[in-house]
């Protein structure tokens, strides 16, 4: 059962890490190139479409990382699973208290300063998803060796 939970966690994390890198390096910086007259509609569409992906997969990450933090997995250091879970909580807190307020402000008006802040602050989530992906890649190697 725990093998399946870890594999589900790997899928969700790898997907969201890839999405985060795309958003970090391509999508958010392109906000600067959207005209003032269409920015509000563009931003609203971005938020709605992105929320679908995030709100489907982030709960999967929360549940599966909590389960591995509580029960451990295959003799790997329990503290690594706890750190993995803490990183998920960090992603959630960053989303709720940093990125969502910036998006709320951007929904009212386009601001280059806010777009730059969004790109900069999103780097934290990208880093956390990248660290989690690297950890889970090592877990996969361990899983397939045993």
CB 9 within 8 A of CB 64: yes
According to the model, what pLDDT value does residue 40 have? 96
Nearest CA among 52, 61, 46 for reference residue 12 = 61
Mean pLDDT within 77-103: 96
Measure CA 94 to chain center.
Answer: 10
Residues 12-35: pLDDT tens digits?
999 999 999 999 999 999 999 999
Distance CA 105, CA 140 (A): 40
- Residue 127: band (very low, low, confident or very high) from pLDDT cuts 50, 70, 90: very high
What does the pLDDT look like over 36-88, one tens digit per residue? 999 999 999 999 999 999 999 999 999 999 999 999 887 778 899 999 999 99
pLDDT of residue 112: 98
pLDDT at 6 over 80: yes
- Predicted pLDDT of residue 78: 86
- Domain hosting 110: range is 2-145
Give residue 67's pLDDT. 95
Q: What is the average pLDDT across 113-138?
A: 97
Q: Cβ of 107: how many Cβ atoms within 10 Å?
A: 14
Residue 72: what pLDDT?
A: 85
For residues 136 and 130, give the distance between their C-alpha atoms in angstroms, rounded to a whole number.
10
pLDDT of residue 142: 83
Q: Quick one: pLDDT at residue 144?
A: 80
Helix 112-145 to helix 2-22 angle (10° resolution) is 150
- Determine contact, residues 32/110, Cβ cutoff 8 Å: no
Number of folded domains in the chain?
1
pLDDT at 114 (0 to 100): 98
């Amino acid at each position: 059962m725990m093998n399946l939970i870890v594999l589900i966690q790997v899928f969700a994390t790898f997907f969201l890490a890839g999405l985060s890198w795309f958003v970090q390096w391509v999508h958010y910086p392109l906000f600067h190139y959207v005209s003032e007259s269409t920015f509000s509609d563009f931003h609203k569409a971005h938020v709605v479409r992105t929320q679908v992906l995030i709100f489907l997969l982030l709960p999967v990450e929360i549940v599966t990382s909590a389960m591995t933090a509580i029960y451990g997995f295959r003799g790997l250091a329990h503290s690594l699973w706890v750190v993995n879970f803490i990183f998920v909580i960090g992603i959630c807190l960053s989303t709720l208290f940093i990125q969502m307020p910036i998006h709320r402000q951007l929904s009212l008006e386009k601001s280059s300063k806010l777009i730059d802040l969004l790109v900069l602050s999103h780097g934290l989530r990208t880093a956390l998803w990248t660290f989690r992906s690297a950890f889970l890649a090592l877990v996969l190697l361990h899983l397939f060796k045993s």
